[in-house]
Amino acid sequence: MAERGRPRGFDADAALDRAIEVFWRHGYEGTSLTDLTEAMGINRPSMYAAFGNKEDLFRKAVARYAEADMAYAREALEQPTARAVIESFLRANADALTRPDRPAGCLSVQGGLAGGTDNGHIAEFLAQSRAGGEKALADRLAQAPDLPPEIDPVALARYVMVVSEGNAVHAAAGASRAALHATVDIALLAVPGPAR
Amino acid sequence: MAERGRPRGFDADAALDRAIEVFWRHGYEGTSLTDLTEAMGINRPSMYAAFGNKEDLFRKAVARYAEADMAYAREALEQPTARAVIESFLRANADALTRPDRPAGCLSVQGGLAGGTDNGHIAEFLAQSRAGGEKALADRLAQAPDLPPEIDPVALARYVMVVSEGNAVHAAAGASRAALHATVDIALLAVPGPAR
DNA sequence: TCATTTCTGTACCGTTCGGTACTGAAGAAG
DNA sequence: CTTCTTCAGTACCGAACGGTACAGAAATGA
């Protein structure tokens, strides 16, 4: 019943966290296996045995990133009103994009936007991941008690995600946390609810 | 005085246009010299003689892209009011991001966001290019007659660019032109000026 | 103790990468 | 026509890419 054979000499989750950072900083195509294995502290065959191949590793890194580094998004959905959901999300997003202990920006944006020659599915995978978050937000907004009936929750969710992704682009370019929050200040003026 | 020797057998500007498309579609790192020379209809040494190297070619492609494909941005700056400048820019931007005869999205965004191993200056170069546009917009807004005195033109310009870049991310992921304009509809609610 | 199972590490695979020598061909100037 | 200059094309360079075969080491079960 117990695991047989020689046990693994490294922590797979810790190694995955290192991989997240490398992918985050350099994108999928800009990251080589040497970059990865050096950062993870293991060698190539161990990585292949544990994670499959480079693309599998990337998908697992994104999954773990979505669960850990983007937990704030799920928490934002628990706010009682549409206005509070959106404000909570954009504020926490601006903070997450500029965490001093993490690469600037967002893995699911700078991981890969353009479909490389054979890596078209990478950009597509990330796009679907972002679309999933957008859909969850739209569903939540549709059920909010304070959303005026003339407001389309799908369009509003898309707008919020556009602000979030635009801020991610700015953060990747070195924008400060204060600058991102100033943008959120303005963006919130377009959101129905009590004015600031 | 006249050019001596054998004349060039291809149109350098036309070749550059082909290169723009390839870089636009696959990003800097995702584009190989083989991709480029095949699309440009020339062979490698001709490309190197005419443009320098891959990075030089990319910089020239971006410069030409900024001049031709983003001419709408300069035209928007000629609108008389801040509100008109912003609306004109965002509308034309949404159209440009979804031109059926061009790749979806924006070269200066999907060309390269993450700094690859040695290609850090590519992401930096693109970021500076975008920052230049943002500064031009801020300067224009600062001189607009209808901008309320309590509004910071730098922050407003940054907000507009965030919406533009977020829309670029969405367009690269396949969003429709109508979806982008619906986002602009909402984004404009945060812009001072006559309501829609 | 001993066979079995699994992981680690070295060394290597074929392919593709960006970049370039070098041979001819083609046009301009004299 | 000759000479000079520049371009076109083939063929190649070393390096880095993603991925793997294989041998040795470390743990388990009997």
Quote the pLDDT of residue B5. Answer: 79
| Token code pair at residue A88 | 């909570």
pLDDT tens per residue, chain A (196 residues)? 456 788 888 999 999 999 999 999 999 999 999 999 999 999 999 999 999 999 999 999 999 999 999 999 999 999 999 999 999 999 999 999 999 999 999 999 999 998 766 666 999 999 999 999 999 999 999 999 999 999 999 999 999 999 999 999 999 999 999 999 999 999 999 999 875 4
Quote the pLDDT of residue B72. Answer: 98
3-state SS class at B168: helix
- Residue B2 predicted with pLDDT over 70: no
Instruction: Tell which residue, A37, A65, A38, A39, has the closest CA to residue A51.
Output: A37
Burial-class residue A160 by CB neighbours within 10 Å (0-12, 13-18, 19+).
buried
**Nearest-neighbour CA in chain A from B9: distance (Å):** 28
| Token code pair at residue A5 | 């054979």
Please name the residue that has the structure tokens 């993490």: A102
Q: How far apart are CA A131 and CA A93, in angstroms?
A: 16
Q: How far apart are CA B147 and CA B156, in angstroms?
A: 10
| Token code pair at residue A61 | 């890194």
Give tens-digit pLDDT for B108-118: 999 989 876 66
- The CA–CA distances, whole Å, from B193 to A29, B129, B153, B161, B162 equal 44, 28, 14, 18, 19
The protein footprint on chain D, as nucleotides within 7 A of a CB, is 4-11, 16-22, 25-29
Quote the pLDDT of residue A196. Answer: 45
Distance, Å, A5 CA → D21 C1' = 20
Contact B170 A183 (CB under 8 A): no
Quote the pLDDT of residue A135. Answer: 98
**Is any atom of strand C within 7 angstroms of residue B149's beta carbon?**
no
Q: What is the pTM of this model?
A: 0.94
